[in-house]
Chain A
């Protein structure tokens, strides 16, 4: 085993060597600009980009023309949300009441911040509070819809919890109402079967480095038929990607993303079964060995490779320090001056103490059972060790209700 063991695949995955190998010739040999229409260098690069576009389209059930390359999901979310909102705005810039947008409170910051920007620019934004199990349902979106709703942006699967929202159902609702649906599918695409036609998607953002591709490249699916979705460009210039996203194409990155998409198409089912089996072992064994341990989010509607676990009476960052052989994330954000626990866990109504006590462990297709067994052993030891150090655990054992104490918070 290589230490520290990598359990942070929801942050980024390693690039598959087969994707890297596909990319390499495009750095040094076939290095032309696909925009160069007058010589073979350009044509060869353009052919490589076209092939990647086809592989990606096949993975998600789209047409190649509906794929727009970006630098990743932060850019993709900005382009989809700001681009759709300004395109479908009911009033011009500088006015109020330009249209209503629905998003969720536990979206990634790359969705929340563009929405907040739009709220400052005259749009009304509703941030839906997820259910206690982390889900956003079709009924919740329907209940928030108004006559002037122009855009719904709901992530397909949540990055901290792995919970899966009712996106196809929400898409159907949006189509019935003539509202544009965008979904941030960064954690979803490449891991779960996707068909933009069946699933009623208008705009979908995803990224290479979450699906064993390279960093710095991603794509948005933009529906071209029934209905045709238009976006206002956010980056203007040479008119690449049909003017929706100017800038010389990142050919190497695109080739890597294309190869990753091809591999995902072929190997998804096997990878799913592998990660699901290991995730279940991790969750079941930790809950069995440690009392007051809960898996956050819906029990079944979750991605196979992400788990978020709270260990009562133990603080997340202290826990991470005790398991330094495991690279993972904590729901606690004690490193920031704010001392705010995860806003995602808070949005679920999870108490501040448990929100401070959580770890996000995310697996990959390369995670081994041996690594999972090591993690179980290490985490069990660390939680017991830190509980021995925890005054809250003593109070709990003495029957004192911690939530009833008047704490002197700073």
Chain B
């Protein structure tokens, strides 16, 4: 596996002393980190409990240095109409959640469940020590869908996946 894609493909020219730690990350990852898509929430914790059209997934733990909150708003057609995230974590965790929201919009539940952490690893060229961030993002997707299904009495169906 090629763990690191250097920005601008200048890895060979960059002298060792000029390699800052950002350079361990890909251009795509830094782009998502610096301009995160779909940051926000569809309401307070209390309001979200009432909203049947929104599934909320919160995964991770503060003591592990990563907490991801993913919210999916499901339209009448059963597709993800909108997605929002908030993440406490490192740059990779933020980039994975931002990417996930982009990929989720417009997908059916079934298609949303098909997003794999390995797809994010590839897209963001995550270094091996950061693969857990993509696992967490995949967990967040599953948790948000599970929450939506439970709110709408589809627990059985969610289990079937």
Contacts and interface: CB of A to CB of B under 8 A. Distances in A.
Contacts of B63: 341, 351-353, 356, 407, 409
A391 B60 CA distance: 11
A324 B94 contact: no
Contact of B94 (A389, A392, A395, A408): A389
A314 interface: yes
B91 interface: yes
Interface stretch (B3-11, B37-45, B111-119, B149-157): B37-45
Interface in B44-91: 44-46, 58-69, 86-91
Chain B interface bracket (under 10, 10 to 19, 20 to 34, 35 or more): 20 to 34
B148 interface: no
A335 B59 CA distance: 19
B93 interface: yes
B62 A318 contact: no
A391 B58 contact: yes
A395 B46 CA distance: 11
B61 A409 contact: yes
A321 B22 contact: yes
A1 interface: no
B86 A407 contact: no
B107 interface: no
A334 B136 CA distance: 14
Given A318-B90, A390-B88, A334 B65 contact: yes
A139 to B, nearest CB: 31
Q: Which of A321, A351, A352, A392 has the most CB of B within 10 A?
A: A321
Contacts of B60: 407-410
Contacts, number: 103
B62 A391 contact: no
A387 B136 CA distance: 20
A28 interface: no
Interface string B14-37: 000000111000000000010010
Contact of B129 (A335, A351, A408): A335
B105 interface: no
A318 B91 CA distance: 5
Contact of B65 (A313, A324, A332, A395): A332
A315 interface: yes
A191 to B, nearest CB: 26
B132 A356 contact: no
A106 B43 CA distance: 43
Interface string B96-118: 00000000000000000000000
B87 A391 contact: yes
A356 B65 contact: yes
B65 A391 contact: no
B59 to A, nearest CB: 6
A335 B132 CA distance: 11
A394 interface: yes
A316 B21 CA distance: 14
A339 B64 CA distance: 6
30 contacts: A314-B88, A317-B91, A318-B91, A318-B94, A321-B33, A321-B90, A324-B22, A334-B66, A334-B89, A336-B129, A339-B132, A341-B63, A353-B62, A356-B63, A388-B39, A389-B36, A389-B88, A389-B94, A390-B88, A391-B68, A391-B86, A391-B88, A394-B44, A394-B45, A395-B45, A398-B45, A408-B59, A408-B60, A410-B61, A410-B136
Interface of B: 20-22, 33, 36, 39, 41, 44-46, 58-69, 86-91, 93-94, 129, 132, 135-136
Given A341-B65, A410-B135, 19 more contacts: A317-B91, A318-B93, A321-B91, A324-B22, A332-B90, A352-B62, A356-B62, A356-B65, A389-B87, A390-B67, A391-B87, A391-B88, A392-B62, A398-B44, A407-B62, A408-B60, A409-B60, A409-B64, A410-B64
Lowest 9 CB-CB distances: which A-B pairs, in order?
A352-B63, A407-B61, A353-B62, A391-B69, A409-B61, A317-B90, A391-B86, A321-B91, A356-B65
Interface of A: 4, 313-318, 320-321, 324, 332, 334-337, 339, 341, 351-353, 356, 388-395, 398, 400, 402, 407-410
